[in-house]
């Protein structure tokens, strides 16, 4: 099987990640609940992950790193926390449902406003102009994905964060499709950074992170036991424990720690360059085939290692099924981002191909051969 669905989750996980999960299952028990060797190993492991993640993203320290179930969980903590007293959120037209559904739920529950900064696909200038207009209305929170999960567009998030920061507007960066693929740092203006752990960071499913700028206070999303201050009726007043009710996913944390270290050992610029080379190969090959509606940035620097396409003669789901039968793993449909399709004026959905640093050029060539053959056969039979 050729795996081109790394934007859903990276696969197969590196051996070091699998071993770390197994080691944790054998050596770490429950954090903050005891002082036996196994419990202390659990504490040690969680702290190591916080330190590693803080370094990796250039944050201010381990205490600002909250361990979550996934990016959706991290985004919900930040969105629901920042909008706990109502207000308005500014978002791009390329956000995932992990951002949009909490916002629509809040709109229904509390009348929270949603301001959409729409722009054409891959047009940084138009996006920033739209974003700036949105900021003028002084939203309570600005939320932006670093990379579109449908089209791979690397949005100008640094500039957008700086613009929000200059106006004193909290900025939440959704780094789910960027972390581990491209350099993502806690740059000026970023207040919160949310990411999945199981995509570019190579951790197991069920892992995610939320990084907070020091001094930022959010009400907790979940409440419950933290293993300390047990006499208090309320959650601790400071992160990360304030946002971590219940027992942590220790095997997941161990795997995520190993995954981040794996990315660091490969070096991010090398990962980005490799995935970019695969994308270029795909873009040029698809251009030669013709008859395929594809979404590639003219400037290759604006696109990460993922792209969308569809044949004009069949729905994307049918293409994906045929690809699956031929041994390719891809994803078809709206990819949990209906607004992104609307913004790109592509309501039919798409087939998404997403690379990782483990994919090889020969695999892209095999995909191109399949697409060439299908375009020929189906195109002729129309």
Partner 1 sequence: MEMILIASLSPTYAEKTVRLLNNNGVRARRVALPRELAEGGCTAGVLAEGVGRREILGLLQSRRVPFRKIIPLGKEGIG
Indicate whether 245 belongs to the interface with partner 1 (CB under 8 A): no
Q: Does 43 bind partner 1 (CB under 8 A)?
A: yes
x/- binding map, residues 46-65, to partner 1, per CB under 8 A?
xx--x----------xxx--
How many binding residues for partner 1 (CB under 8 A)? Answer: 26
Q: Is 27 exposed, middle or buried (0-12, 13-18, 19+ CB in 10 A)?
A: middle
Q: Rank residues 42 and 71 by Cβ distance to partner 1 and give the closer one.
A: 42
3-class secondary-structure state, position 217: coil
Q: What is the nearest approach in angstroms of partner 1 to the Cβ of residue 31?
A: 7
Residue 38 interacting with partner 1 (CB under 8 A): no
Least distance to partner 1, CB of residue 238, Å: 7
Burial class (CB in 10 A: 0-12, 13-18, 19+), 284: exposed
Residue where the block lists tokens 């050729």: 2
- For residue 291, state whether it binds partner 1 (rule: CB under 8 A): no
Distances (CA, A) of 320 to 309, 311, 334, 349: 11, 11, 13, 12
Interatomic CA distance for residues 81 and 238, integer angstroms: 14
**What binding mask, one character per residue, do residues 323-362 give for partner 1 by CB under 8 A, x or -?**
----------------------------------------
DSSP annotation string for 129-171: HHHHHHHHT--SEEEEESB-TTT-BB--HHHHHHHHHHTT--E
Please identify, using beta-carbon distances, which residue of 61 and 361 lies nearer to partner 1.
Answer: 61
Residue whose CB is less far from partner 1, 85 or 231: 231
33 SS3 class: coil
- Does 33 bind partner 1 (CB under 8 A)? Our answer is yes
Examine residue 31 and tell whether it contacts partner 1 (CB under 8 A): yes
CB of 280 to partner 1, least distance (A): 43
308: helix, strand or coil: strand
Enumerate binding residues for partner 1 (CB under 8 A): 31-35, 39-40, 43-44, 46-47, 50, 61-63, 226-232, 236, 238, 240-241
């Amino acid at each position: 099987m050729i795996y081109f669905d790394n934007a859903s989750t990276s696969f197969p996980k590196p051996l070091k990640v699998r071993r770390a999960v197994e080691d944790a299952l054998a050596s770490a028990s429950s954090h903050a609940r005891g002082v036996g060797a196994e419990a202390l190993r659990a504490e040690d492991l969680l702290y190591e992950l916080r330190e590693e993640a803080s370094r990796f993203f250039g944050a201010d320290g381990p205490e600002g790193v909250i361990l979550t179930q996934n990016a959706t969980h991290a985004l919900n903590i930040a969105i629901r926390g920042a909008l706990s007293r109502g207000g308005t959120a500014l978002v791009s037209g390329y956000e995932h449902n992990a951002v949009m559904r909490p916002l629509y739920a809040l709109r229904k529950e509390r009348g929270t406003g949603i301001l959409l900064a729409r722009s054409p696909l891959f047009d940084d200038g138009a996006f920033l102009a739209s974003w700036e207009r949105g900021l003028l209305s002084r939203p309570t929170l600005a939320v932006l994905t670093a990379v579109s999960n449908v089209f791979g567009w690397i949005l100008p998030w640094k500039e957008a964060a700086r613009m929000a920061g200059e106006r004193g507007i909290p900025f939440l960066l959704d780094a789910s499709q960027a972390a581990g693929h491209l350099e993502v740092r806690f740059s000026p203006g970023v207040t919160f950074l949310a990411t999945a752990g199981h995509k570019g960071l190579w951790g197991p499913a069920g892992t995610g992170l939320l990084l907070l700028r020091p001094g930022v206070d959010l009400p907790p999303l979940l409440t419950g036991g933290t293993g300390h201050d047990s006499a208090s009726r309320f959650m601790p007043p400071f992160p990360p424990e304030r946002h971590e009710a219940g027992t942590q996913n220790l095997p997941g944390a161990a795997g995520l720690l190993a995954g981040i270290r794996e990315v660091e050992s490969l070096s991010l610029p090398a990962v980005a360059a490799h995935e970019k080379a695969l994308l270029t190969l795909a873009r040029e090959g698809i251009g030669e085939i013709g008859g395929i509606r594809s979404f590639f940035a003219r400037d290759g620097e604006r696109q990460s290692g993922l792209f969308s396409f569809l044949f004009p003669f069949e729905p994307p789901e049918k293409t994906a099924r045929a690809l699956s039968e031929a041994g390719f793993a891809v994803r078809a449909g709206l990819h949990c981002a209906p607004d992104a399709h609307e913004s790109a004026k592509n309501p039919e959905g798409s087939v998404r191909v997403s690379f990782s640093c483990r994919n090889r050029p020969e695999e892209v060539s095999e995909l191109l051969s399949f697409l060439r053959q299908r375009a020929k056969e189906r195109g002729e039979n129309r």
